[in-house]
Amino acid sequence: MTLQNRVLPTGEIVAEPFRGTLMGNRGCLHDAARRLGRARWRHRNWITCRLSFKGRRRTLMVPGRYTELFFLDEATALAVGHRPCAECRRGDYLRFRAAWEHAFGDRPSAAELDRTLHADRLDGVTGGGQRRHEVSARDLPDGAMALIEGRPMLVWAGALRPWHRDGYRAALALPRGAITVLTPAATLAVLRAGYSPIPHPSLENSAP
């Protein structure tokens, strides 16, 4: 049985056999039959974790426990508003927080990060769906995720990499003008300040 626990850059959670490289958590979103309900989050601290840590093993979607979500890579997780876990990804969390401090001038607690990200990733107009915004393509940092003609695309090394469920496709030229961006504005600032997300291995094979 393929569980509904794979998160797309556009925010949908789908049933998909490809788990990706990172796991995430937003609270318990499933029922006793391991089916998702209507809720897509239960708390504000949306994190991303390593797939393995200290030999811990989990049974997926245990009733009453948090729903294990999976992402192709960190850029995908950042696009929907997640951040690094402060335990299993301690080094990445500290890098993220340092870039945040550089961007905004203060060193936030985890709770402060989550409060800002939660407000930034949800669109009150659409009832809590993904907030999207328009940014000049040439001003986007590596790691930003855009939506072009309905397709998610990653900005990386001065080009676009079309997102696919199992990796990125061959690079395309950046367009001119503004494009729709999925990555929250606060996270874009962190990327501009020097935070580099862990890339999916397929990026090595998608150079211009």
Query: Domain limits at 164?
Result: 116-205
Residue 23 in any domain: the answer is yes
pLDDT of 110 strictly over 90: yes
What is the pTM assigned to this prediction?
A: 0.94
What does the mean pLDDT of the chain come to?
93
Domain co-membership, 127 together with 198: yes
| 128 belongs to a structural domain | yes
Judge whether 108 lies within some domain: no
Name the residue with higher pLDDT: 127 or 8: 8
> Does residue 134 sit in the same domain as residue 186?
yes
Question: Is 181 among the domain residues?
Answer: yes
Q: What is the pLDDT of residues 46-69, one digit of tens each?
A: 999 999 877 778 789 999 999 999
Phi, psi of 106 (to 5 degrees): -140, 155
Please identify which residue in the block is written with the tokens 């990172």. 22
| Res 83 pLDDT > 60 | yes
Give me the mean pLDDT over the 154-167 stretch: 96
One domain, residues 79 and 121: no
Q: Is the residue at 136 inside a domain?
A: yes
9-52 per-position pLDDT tens digit? 999 999 988 889 999 999 999 999 999 999 999 999 999 999 98
* Contact between 147 and 157 (Cβ < 8 Å): no
Find the length of the chain.
208
Residues 138 and 79 in one domain: no
The total domain count for the chain is: 2
Please indicate, yes or no, whether residues 79 and 15 belong to a single structural domain of this protein. yes
Q: What residues contact 68, with CB distance under 8 A and at least 6 apart?
A: 5, 23, 24, 25, 58, 60, 61
